[in-house]
């Protein structure tokens, strides 16, 4: 679904490096989310945003920060990456009666 685009799709980075994952959408949705998925596990909410001025922590926000640069853009940053942040990251958007996912970013921290 090209309506929600994540970049990069895959990234390998070293421990201690700063990395940014980007998400952009053409759905016109106000709400955007970042989730993390570890192998064999479900989707855990990192941060979510209701609009440009409204950012909220999810259940696992420690070690992460976000920026909602515009309605269509929501980026996730790891200020100092650590190996246990190796995971599959998904961006999602929602409106009242629909929700869409990006393709995912596979991040490996070595």
Partner 1 sequence: GENVEQHPSTLSVQEGDSAVIKCTYSDSASNYFPWYKQELGKRPQLIIDIRSNVGEKKDQRIAVTLNKTAKHFSLHITETQPEDSAVYFCAALGNKLVFGAGTILRVKS
Q: Which residues bind partner 1 (CB under 8 A)?
A: 1, 31, 33, 35, 41-43, 45, 48, 56, 59, 88, 90, 92, 94, 96-104, 106
Per-residue CA distances from 22 to 39, 56, 95, 96 (Å): 22, 17, 20, 23
CB of 37 to partner 1, least distance (A): 9
CB of 107 to partner 1, least distance (A): 13
**Cα angle vertex 107, ends 12, 73, to 5°?**
115
CB of 109 to partner 1, least distance (A): 18
CB of 80 to partner 1, least distance (A): 27
Interstrand relation of 105-109 and 10-13 (parallel, antiparallel or unpaired) = parallel
Longest dimension (CA), the chain: 40
Minimum CB distance to partner 1 smaller for 26 or for 56: 56
User: Of the candidates 35, 28, 6, which has an alpha carbon nearest to the alpha carbon of residue 94?
Assistant: 28
Minimum CB distance to partner 1 smaller for 15 or for 27: 27
Minimum CB distance to partner 1 smaller for 14 or for 50: 50
């Amino acid at each position: 679904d090209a309506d929600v685009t994540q970049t990069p799709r895959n990234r390998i980075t070293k421990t201690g490096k700063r990395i940014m994952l980007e998400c952009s959408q053409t759905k016109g949705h106000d709400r955007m989310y970042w989730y993390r998925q570890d192998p064999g596990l479900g989707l855990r909410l990192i941060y979510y945003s209701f609009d440009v001025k409204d950012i909220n922590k999810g259940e696992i926000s420690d070690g992460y920060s976000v920026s909602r640069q515009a309605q269509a853009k929501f980026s996730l940053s790891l200020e100092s990456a650590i190996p246990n942040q190796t995971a599959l990251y998904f961006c999602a958007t929602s409106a009242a009666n629909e929700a869409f996912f990006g393709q995912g970013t596979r991040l490996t921290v070595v």
